[in-house]
A and B are shown apart, each in its own frame.
Chain A
Amino acid sequence: MPVYRSIRDLDWPLLIVTLALCTLGILQIYSATLATKWQDAWWKQILWVVTGLAMMWVAAALDYHVLLTQVGYLYLAAMGVLAATTFAGSKVFGSTRWIKVAGFTLQTSEFVKIVLILVVARYLTEAKSSGSLTWKDLAKLAALVGVPMLLVMKQPDLGTALTYLPILICGVLMAGLRWKYLAIVATVLVVTLPIGYHFLKPYQKDRLVSFVYPDRDPKGTGFQVIQSRIAVGNGGMWGRGAKESSQTHLGFLPVPHTDFIFSSFAEEHGFVGIVIALVLYFLLIMQVVQNAQTSTDKAGLYICMGVAALLLFHVLVNVGMVVGRMPITGIPLPLMSSGGSSTWSIFLMLGLVNGVRLRRFVN
């Protein structure tokens, strides 16, 4: 297949928005970790971003059609690694999410997202050719996504496990589902969720309770919710200025460079700052969606929409948690939160999106 690909054909608007967000992230990591034990996190993050860019290029260079043909092996391999992590990974903060590979500590569940996007895209492309999705299709898709979810929940890492859901839901909705099915699925979910609550770990229940009633135990579980809202409110319209934020720098804000980086950002740069950042995220997602729209085939569309749904979910849950409108789940903010696995996996996904774009005229 003779294909002409060059850097010129990459999605430059997407790339610019991506790098802008990464820059905000690195600056904020620098400011938030100044004089703490994480104070070298900012240059590590630069390292992640630079290597992430390379990965993105590689992912874009690969033909996603070829990837999709190999997705079965990818899926099996991913499950193997995930299982290995869950049962033999290194334990940090009471959960085993990480394995060490060549000196890097990787959170494997982050990379599983990519595989799931591909698996869902592959399955839907094939199933959809026979019309609407059947119950059987739904069951199989649920199983394909459910297995890694259960493994990740076992680590335990409910937040990351939940990020797999939007890939599935978005894919199914894009493929088209009968209203009747939709209604039934929705009903079943509404009925089973309260039952599922009883299977949550105590700390997860606490988090849900403190989301609803943050003032019940202000020094305990509600602490993070309250402190994050205080940090955000303390920022006001214009922010306290970089390095001037008391909530961030006196340690009241939990993990201000990872999960709560947006609280710290909101405290230092105020409402104006967060509007700029959120506009960038909005542009990022819209640009990914635009690539879905211009895709020449369904597979490309599913991949792009899977990525868009995942990004939207991450932003909704993380930023929603920061303003106290979502329970604390501990998932990172894409591109801004410090962390290699998350950054790399986002760049790989954006690479896939670029790959779809590069091949839009090729058919």
Chain B
Amino acid sequence: MPLLERERKQHEGLLSLRPPRDDPKEAAGKIAVFQYLTVAVFVFLVSGFWQLQVQNPEVYSEAAERNRIKSIPLLAPRGKILDRDGRVIVDNKASYSLLLNRDQIRWEHLPAIASALQLDYGDLSSLIRRAGSRPQIIIKDQLTRDDIAWIESHQDASTYPEMQLIKSWRRQYPRDGFAAHVTGFVGEISEAELESPQYIDYHQGDIIGKDGIERQYDKTLRGVDGQQRVLVDNMGRERQMENTQDAVPGKDLHTALDLDLQAVAELSLAGKSGSVVAINPQNGEVLAMVSAPSFDANKFTGRISHTDWNEIASDPRKPLLNRSIQAQLAPGSTFKPIMAIAGLESGVIDDETIFHCPGGASFYGHYFACHLKRGHGDISLHRAIAQSCDVFFYNVGNRLGIDRIAHYADLAGIGRKTGIDLPNETQGTMPSTKWKMRLSRQKWYAGETISVAIGQGAVTVSPIQLVSALGGLGVGGRWYQPHLVEGGAPVLLRKADFNPDNLQQVISGMYGVVNEWGTGHAAQLPDIKVCGKTGTAQVASSDKTKGAKVRSALANNAWFVGFAPMEKPEIAVVALFENGEESYNAVPIVRDVLKAYFDKKARLTSGHLLETELRRVQSLELLSSIAAFSPRGLIE
């Protein structure tokens, strides 16, 4: 077909030629195919929209919200810890923290961020890994001015947009370890704590109370964090504030502590190792509680650094131990009032019972010495308490037997937790035949009772147990649960049905300790009838200490428990002076606290209470202000 050939050639040369006419109807079938294809394409597209917009629009509307809403946590301040007059013991200080938004974190940014903020890169990356899927991770608290300046100039979209500066609160504890064992401290929740059922509502990264009141009352003190929602654009720029959920601050805790008393107790124990606890035996309120040596709770509030922790935790003097509730030491002669009431109530002695003290006595083939080598001569109960005659109480113990002693001691709370509102209280030990059988599957030997009778042997107590026990005797045989935080009626733990005459004999003996040339005469106060009992407790058996040259670690512990006034005690104080050698070294400590208590009371009741007087310890820039009024100043 030459014509066609020509046309082709022309076409190849792209020359013009009028196209031939033909019938387009033959393409009808193909057009129909195209139409079906078009329908298919539109069904395909509409189904795509159906899937995204109708089937699961929530997924995408949430994604869109995550895109545009940046939520900034508003951290709730913890409740303050206040003393009985409302003075602040533990406060919060506003500070700044840095958090990283998880979905913006770029690992390659971290070394730069870490070095700029003096963080260890290893710590930082492990912190972020541990944080799991938490959307925001606080990586540094208590930012310095330099930190803040650096962050503000580097958090734009082009550098490190994952950084977010937030306001936070730094827990501020009294300086120099003042009341540190009572307040405790806060820290980041640990893995182990997260797994325990007690912390079921808590999340990784939460700051929780780790010890003391902070731990015991964590649920009260901690608030509910709020959040501020900010509309941001694709560059992370804030466009406008959305609804804000305010933080609910934690509740303040009113404690029974009296800062003035606490300050005196702290100072009277300064440089020593031991404990002072003051309670109101009529209701169990803890007015002061000191354990020495102490530690600076402010050092624990950090998030990453553990060097301070290690330093304190490995200190051989064990500053973290709250001796007031955790020491387990022989009470020594302070146990004697319990022996006395046990003897009188059981009828093994009465006010006319006299034993002869030649400076020692033999029981079951062993010689037991009295602390007074020349002996007390013929001695009755009153003088035996006042002058702490060991031989008298050896005999009482011998007559009672261990299980009757244990019965009365148990009534007074020896060998029981007091149930004070602090974590990790220890139980102490009150031996009995059952106790020994359970512990070592051995019979109790009567000879062992003799040591127990003067608070040695297997008996161990904590200061809080001892002050609670003797204070309870002082108020007529009623033992209230010691508590730091006020609220609710006092809890009466046990009530004894003692013969008032018997009780009166014991208390008058304890009056004699202080006021009748007894062992605790240094606790005398003018116009106040102070009762008490001293104790010099051996750390180890005297056989071991006799030849020992290094005495300090094994030196006797000095105890004194006092309460006043005699008729209706409203304060009971225990002082434990570890390795204080002789009990009279513990007496002035108690005297200072008692005097401070009654001086303050006198000023309050005489109407001469000066506001300034109370405010002296108001701000807890503490020991500096305490130093400003020396305890002597308060007492004399």
Contacts and interface: CB of A to CB of B under 8 A. Distances in A.
Contacts, number: 184
A278 to B, nearest CB: 6
Interface residues of B, number: 55
Interface in A268-300: 270-271, 274-275, 278, 281-282, 285-286, 289, 292-293, 295-300
Q: Chain B's interface: helix, strand, loop or mixed, by majority?
A: helix
B235 interface: yes
Interface stretch (A23-31, A105-113, A118-126): A118-126
Interface in A62-83: 65, 68-73, 75-76
Contacts of A255: none
A250 B35 contact: no
Contact of B31 (A75, A296, A305): A305
A140 interface: yes
B49 interface: yes
B67 A232 contact: no
Contacts of A281: 42
A154 interface: no
Contacts of A251: 233-235
A65 B18 CA distance: 7
A319 interface: yes
Nearest to A72: B14
A293 B56 CA distance: 41
B53 A126 contact: no
A266 interface: yes
Interface residues of A, number: 69
A243 interface: no
A31 B516 CA distance: 98
A50 to B, nearest CB: 29
Interface stretch (A53-61, A168-176, A188-196): A168-176
Nearest to A237: B54
Nearest to A218: B103
A308 interface: yes
A290 B234 CA distance: 45
Contacts of B16: 69-73
Contacts of A363: 21
Contacts of B60: 229-234
B4 A130 contact: yes
Contacts of A176: 27, 30
Q: Chain A's interface: helix, strand, loop or mixed, by majority?
A: helix
A70 B16 CA distance: 6
B439 to A, nearest CB: 64
B239 A233 contact: no
A229 B34 CA distance: 29
A247 to B, nearest CB: 5
A233 B52 contact: yes
B234 A68 contact: no
Contacts of A229: 52, 60
26 contacts: A68-B18, A71-B14, A72-B13, A73-B14, A125-B20, A126-B11, A126-B19, A129-B22, A130-B1, A176-B27, A229-B52, A231-B60, A232-B52, A233-B64, A236-B54, A236-B61, A237-B53, A250-B233, A252-B234, A275-B46, A286-B35, A292-B24, A297-B22, A305-B31, A319-B48, A324-B48
Nearest 5 interchain pairs by C-beta: A233-B60, A72-B14, A323-B48, A251-B234, A236-B57
Given A231-B64, A289-B34, 5 more contacts: A68-B18, A246-B67, A292-B31, A293-B24, A323-B51
